[in-house]
């Protein structure tokens, strides 16, 4: 996020009561920018709660998620938001590359080319739309929330957004790297 060419970002880090070195890592970064907001939870609440808290905490026009094991190219936000503004899209995503980590080295696997657009009917048959590739305009999120379920909370969220007669459109760049774990 720090390396983004788009500088008008706000980062909300929700630490879900981590028990590893996350707090130390967060502390080493949080003073590098006024755009960073850190929320430490006293109890583990799960990914759905954290995503909902991030949405509630933000007042930005655009919402994007980046999971702690994924990363972006440095031009992702700038180019994807420009694309959204230029063509008046409210929900976009990109192609992505999968990778694994072995001995602290990233081993890139394959580039995933996702469909050019999704509506609800198409999405439920092909859900190849990772959260870290998406940018959504706040106006279409409304009161939609991530549901507290053990898996696929993001799938249900995307279904709810797309059910409201929204469509998601691909920004045809490969700007996200998705860790397979």
- With cut-offs at 50, 70 and 90, classify the pLDDT of residue 39: very high
Give the global pTM: 0.92
What's the pLDDT at 150? 86
Q: What is the pLDDT of residues 74-91, one digit of tens each?
A: 999 999 999 999 999 999
- Tell me the two tokens of residue 109: 């696997």
What's the pLDDT at 57? 95
Q: What is the pLDDT of residues 43-58, one digit of tens each?
A: 999 999 999 999 999 9
- Given a cut of 90, whether residue 31 has pLDDT beyond it is no
- With cut-offs at 50, 70 and 90, classify the pLDDT of residue 68: confident
What's the pLDDT at 33? 84
Mean pLDDT of the chain: 94
Strand-strand pairing, 105-112 and 62-64: unpaired
Spatial separation of the C-alpha atoms in residues 145 and 173, rounded to whole Å: 28
Quick one: average pLDDT of 30-53?
93
Q: What is the pLDDT of residues 167-179, one digit of tens each?
A: 999 999 999 999 9
Quick one: average pLDDT of 133-157?
94
- Tell me the two tokens of residue 110: 């394959």
Which spans in 58-151 are helix H? 76-87, 120-123, 138-141
For 111, phi and psi rounded to 5 degrees?
-80, 130
- Which of the residue ranges 2-16, 20-34, 71-85, 118-132 would you say has the lowest mean pLDDT? 20-34
What's the pLDDT at 62? 97
**Higher-confidence position of 156 and 127:** 156
What's the pLDDT at 34? 87
Say how far residue 138 (Cα) sits from the centre of its chain.
13
């Amino acid at each position: 996020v720090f390396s983004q060419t788009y500088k008008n970002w706000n980062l909300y880090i929700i630490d879900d009561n981590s028990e590893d070195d996350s707090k130390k890592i967060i502390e080493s970064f949080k003073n590098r920018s006024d755009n960073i907001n850190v929320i430490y939870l006293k109890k583990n609440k799960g990914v759905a709660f954290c995503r909902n808290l991030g949405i509630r905490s933000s007042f930005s026009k655009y919402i994007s998620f980046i999971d702690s094991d994924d990363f972006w190219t440095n031009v992702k936000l700038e180019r994807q938001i420009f694309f959204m503004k230029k063509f008046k899209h409210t929900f976009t995503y990109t192609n992505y590359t999968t990778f694994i980590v072995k001995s602290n080295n990233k081993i890139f696997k394959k580039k995933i080319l996702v469909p050019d657009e999704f509506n609800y009917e198409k999405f439920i048959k092909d859900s190849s739309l990772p959260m870290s590739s998406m940018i959504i305009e706040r106006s279409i999120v409304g009161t939609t929330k991530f549901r507290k379920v053990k898996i696929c909370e993001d799938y249900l969220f995307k279904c709810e957004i797309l059910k409201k007669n929204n469509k998601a459109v691909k920004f045809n760049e490969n700007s996200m790297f998705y860790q397979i774990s």
